[in-house]
């Protein structure tokens, strides 16, 4: 088993969102990775610069961060070659480790653009070292920059930041400082390749919460009418929990609820609605324990939203 600690750098349309390719808003221009064994020793490295094929110039904000010129990339390889060589280098028995939750998704989106997604079947389980660092050294919620973690852990700065191979190396150095039990108990799941049918729906139990990923729905409104999507069960005993605050819409993409398990306590439910590239919809539900303070905050939020809707309806009637 190897840990593949990787980092990506990507470009975006220098002309802005209006003219960007919606199928590829971020074009990967660099892949850097280190291979780490189960003793957390770095055993190998991988690096490729990638010749752009979609955007013909480096966006100013990207250039300021990574200091790569467009002419530097002209000597790079195609994305198809880089991705194929990267996966071959990974081998057959491995898990991805990244700093943050975006790299795994962007790798898949770029592979899909070039018709290569079958080489990386999903949903992809990986480990977010940024999240693991927060669980270990912070409150588990806040996320810090990689350089901040390096400074806090007093790790020697051998290279500059914001280049793929250097950031992969630094992420591996942070990984060395993390407890194996925390790592094993907190995997992440990227659902860019989301479940399509009922039989493919995902149920995962973590030490402190449960996660459910639904199948696809053609219409957003059908999601919250589905019994499995809106069910609330205790993350410990998995018995149905009694609803205290019914599901309410905080915004068009997020719903909340509060339920109680007589044996284990109060449970906050959160449903996020995601839209796929194919204009379909699916839900990601998390159920975790909460306290009286958050319960009251959610109750007040629901009441405030209800009051705002009433005011809006009253204003519309007057018009």
pLDDT, tens digit, 9 for 90 and up, residues 189-203: 999 999 999 999 999
- For residue 286, give the DSSP letter: E
pLDDT for 319 equals 64
pLDDT higher than 80, residue 67: no
SS3 content of the chain, % helix, strand, coil (to 5): 35, 30, 35
pLDDT confidence bin for 69, thresholds 50/70/90: confident
The segment with the largest mean pLDDT, out of 10-24, 36-50, 297-311, is 36-50
pLDDT given at position 18: 85
- Round the average pLDDT of the chain to a whole number and report it: 94
pLDDT at 285 over 80: yes
pLDDT at 276 over 70: yes
Q: What is the pLDDT of residue 309?
A: 86
pLDDT at site 101: 96
If you average pLDDT over residues 107-130, what whole number do you get?
97
Share of the chain above pLDDT 70, in %: 98
pLDDT at position 120 is: 97
Local structure of residue 239 (DSSP, 8 states): P
**Helix/strand/coil for 289:** strand
Within 8 A by CB and 6+ apart from 279, the residues are none
Model pLDDT, residue 77: 96
Give residue 219's pLDDT: 95
pLDDT exceeds 90 at position 313: no
**pTM listed for this prediction:** 0.89
Span 19-28, average pLDDT: 93
The confidence score (pLDDT) of residue 145 equals: 97
3-state SS, residue 305:
helix
SS3 253: coil
Instruction: State in words which class domain 2-188 has.
Output: alpha beta
Q: In the structure, how many helices (H) and strands (E) does the chain have?
A: 10, 12
- 124-128, 158-162, 230-234, 254-258: least confidently modelled range: 158-162
- Break the chain into its structural domains and give their ranges: 2-188, 194-315
Give mean pLDDT, residues 209-234: 97
Look-up: residue for tokens 């398990």? 261
Measured in whole angstroms, the distance separating CA 165 from the mean position of its chain's CA atoms is 21
Average pLDDT over residues 234-261: 95
298: nearest Cα among 240, 265, 254, 253:
254
* The pLDDT of residue 17: 85
- 247 CB-contact burial (10 Å; exposed 0-12 / middle 13-18 / buried 19+): middle
Instruction: Look at residue 316 and tell me whether its pLDDT is greater than 90.
Output: no
**Residue 279: per-residue pLDDT:** 94
């Amino acid at each position: 088993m190897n840990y593949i600690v990787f980092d990506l750098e990507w470009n975006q349309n220098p002309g802005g969102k209006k003219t960007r390719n919606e199928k590829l808003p971020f074009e990967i221009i660099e892949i850097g990775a280190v291979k780490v064994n189960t003793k957390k020793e770095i055993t190998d490295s991988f690096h490729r610069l990638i010749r752009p094929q979609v955007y013909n110039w480096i966006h100013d904000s990207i250039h300021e961060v990574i200091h790569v010129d467009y002419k530097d990339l002209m000597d790079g390889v195609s994305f198809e070659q880089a991705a194929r060589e990267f996966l071959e280098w990974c081998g057959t028995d491995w898990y991805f480790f990244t700093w943050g939750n975006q790299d795994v998704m962007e790798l898949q989106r770029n592979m899909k653009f070039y018709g290569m997604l079958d080489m990386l079947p999903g949903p992809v389980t990986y480990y977010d070292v940024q999240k693991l660092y927060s669980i270990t050294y912070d409150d588990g919620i806040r996320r810090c920059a990689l350089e901040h973690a390096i400074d806090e852990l007093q790790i020697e700065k051998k290279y500059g930041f914001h280049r793929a191979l250097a950031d992969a190396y630094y992420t591996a150095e942070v990984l060395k400082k993390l407890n194996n039990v925390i790592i094993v108990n907190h995997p992440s799941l990227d659902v860019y390749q989301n479940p399509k049918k009922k039989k493919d729906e995902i149920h995962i139990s973590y030490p402190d919460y449960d996660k459910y990923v639904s199948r696809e729905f053609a219409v957003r409104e059908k999601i919250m009418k589905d019994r499995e999507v809106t069910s609330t069960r205790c993350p410990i005993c998995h018995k149905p929990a009694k609803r205290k605050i019914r599901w309410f819409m905080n915004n068009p993409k997020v719903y909340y609820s509060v339920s109680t398990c007589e044996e284990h306590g109060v449970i906050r439910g959160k449903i996020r609605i995601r839209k796929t590239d194919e204009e379909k919809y699916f839900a990601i539900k998390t159920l975790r324990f909460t306290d009286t303070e958050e319960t009251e905050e959610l109750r007040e939020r629901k009441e405030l939203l209800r009051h705002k809707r009433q005011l809006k309806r009253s204003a519309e009637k007057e018009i």
